[in-house]
A and B are shown apart, each in its own frame.
Chain A
């Protein structure tokens, strides 16, 4: 059980390559925290600094209120699971699990008891006598996980542990990790670039970009209220439509001009938009907030032309173009179909719209 606190954590490689830039993050005791971001955003480096595998250039790293910047990785009592499993190649599965315990001088009976318990939990009892190269990727993954579990550390660090698995196995392991977390209640820091993992597994997620934290929140918070166009465009698949629009109107109430369609500005944010009159803004709407029919109130119809129709089975993703050529994706019911090039109307749920500053990308819609 541990609370991990990062205060102004910075990692600089060499003279001036800033990998992690002044990260503040509080990971609560027993929390499943996901660090999410594209490759090279500094999420893995952050995790490795928590583990002690990378030195912290500046800032403070605390585990349960104790400053651990200079504490040896072995003495932080954390366990890490790597993307490529990193099992000890010539040891059996049982020996792999036992290695860390032996080094910590745990008693032999206790080691055996813990190995048995962990193996049962992960369903790898039958593999204990085998060597890593005799195992499939999924089995190796389980053993790597077991090696972390058996240590019973204060927190688990997962460095993209599911990335090497095939889609089906990955989905199964996702569920399993969530289950394990629920059973053990141990703090978990999970690094991934897969937004589905982040959405489904994380109690909270921390989205990073260029070494900085962009947004921290529960998956739904981040989904509903992305702080900028980066977060909006990163989560969900297909992600939010981000369309260039213009704020117009002199005498009456302001309107957003999106490719000729006039959209009224919601009353709540009018004053926030004061400085943007006549300037470009980014209008955001999620594909799932677009409808083929005017099926409910407060929908704004606008004209599009069909570019492609991707029938995924449970749903249909329509890619269409606006009059000015900008493309927009819509998630429609599975019954939808239209020929390429057909002109039709989509209906946007204006209650779900987002407005971003065109220059900074920051959201203007809410605080």
Chain B
């Protein structure tokens, strides 16, 4: 009973849009007169599948997800290992590390757009002082993709670092001491103790970041709008364009449902995995 208002609110803002999107994906939805929709069965899905640029967007998304998650993991794990070794001022480091996470992604996008501005940005100014010519960070098709990846890493790497650091801090001390008595080197300890014992935490961290990375939208919307060309056209932005520029709501809904299924599968796997740990 007491949860009823909360449940109702959830219904309104989550369940209803979800179901609505699901239904819409089977209709030729027109914004002019919602009552005049025609049921088209799988036509939207077929249209989405045959969409010429979908493949490109999926490819960009895949590259983006892999690049950002892998690099975030590498940096995050290194930072976590380094931080785990220190004992003093740990809270200070935690706070510094947490700072980017606390910033809204839209703000992150705006911030970096200004920092990376070709003529006015501080970054080009600084590298200019070292004699490096200005880089068109967000306007060059080759550079923009990696710029977006780097900004995402800047924003999200602390999530990875903090999750992994928590995992490292919770590891028992004794296996390391046993290994020390056995005469194992630091590298062997890392391979034979840290990695296997961290496996569950690593898996969860990777899966969580993977799920979030697939849905990345804000920084693209703010910084590149998918451009230049389709260099940073992630699937979420691609769907957004189909819906609000192409006004093809039905097809956009169909693609959303497809994306939802992928994310749902990953989440289910994550959930199962976490349950199996108990």
A→B interface (CB under 8 Å): 51-53, 72-75, 78-80, 82, 84-91, 99-100, 103-104, 147, 151
Contacts and interface: CB of A to CB of B under 8 A. Distances in A.
B175 A86 contact: yes
B184 A84 contact: no
Interface in B207-224: none
A79 B181 contact: yes
A84 B172 contact: yes
Contacts of B178: 80, 82, 86-88, 147
A87 B181 contact: no
Contacts, number: 61
Interface of B: 172, 174-175, 177-184, 188, 192-193, 196-197, 199
29 contacts: A52-B181, A53-B177, A53-B180, A72-B183, A74-B180, A74-B181, A74-B182, A80-B177, A80-B181, A82-B178, A84-B172, A84-B174, A86-B172, A86-B174, A86-B177, A88-B175, A88-B178, A88-B192, A88-B193, A89-B175, A89-B193, A89-B196, A91-B192, A99-B182, A99-B184, A103-B184, A103-B188, A147-B178, A151-B182
Nearest to A144: B178
A82 B181 CA distance: 12
A181 B183 CA distance: 24
Chain B, interface SS category: helix
Contacts of A78: 181
B183 A104 contact: yes
A273 B186 CA distance: 61
B183 to A, nearest CB: 3
A90 B181 contact: no
A79 B181 CA distance: 7
A79 B177 CA distance: 11
B184 to A, nearest CB: 6
Contacts of B183: 72, 74-75, 100, 103-104
Nearest to B177: A53
Given A88-B192, A88-B193, A90-B192, A82 B177 contact: yes
Nearest to B195: A90
A104 B188 CA distance: 13
B266 to A, nearest CB: 25
A89 B188 CA distance: 14
A73 B172 contact: no
Contacts of A103: 182-184, 188
A88 B196 CA distance: 9
Contacts of A51: 177, 181
B196 A90 contact: yes
Contacts of B181: 51-53, 73-74, 78-80, 100
A52 B188 CA distance: 19
Contacts of A89: 175, 193, 196-197
Contacts of B199: 90
Contacts of B196: 88-90
B97 to A, nearest CB: 26
Given A86-B174, A88-B178, 10 more contacts: A73-B180, A74-B180, A80-B181, A82-B177, A88-B192, A88-B196, A89-B196, A89-B197, A90-B192, A91-B192
A251 B174 CA distance: 65
A100 B175 contact: no
B250 to A, nearest CB: 50
A322 to B, nearest CB: 48
Nearest to A95: B192
B171 to A, nearest CB: 10
**Which of A88, A89, A103 has most B Cβ within 10 Å?**
A88
A79 B183 CA distance: 11
A336 to B, nearest CB: 47
Nearest to A83: B174
Given A88-B192, A88-B193, A90-B192, A100 B182 contact: yes
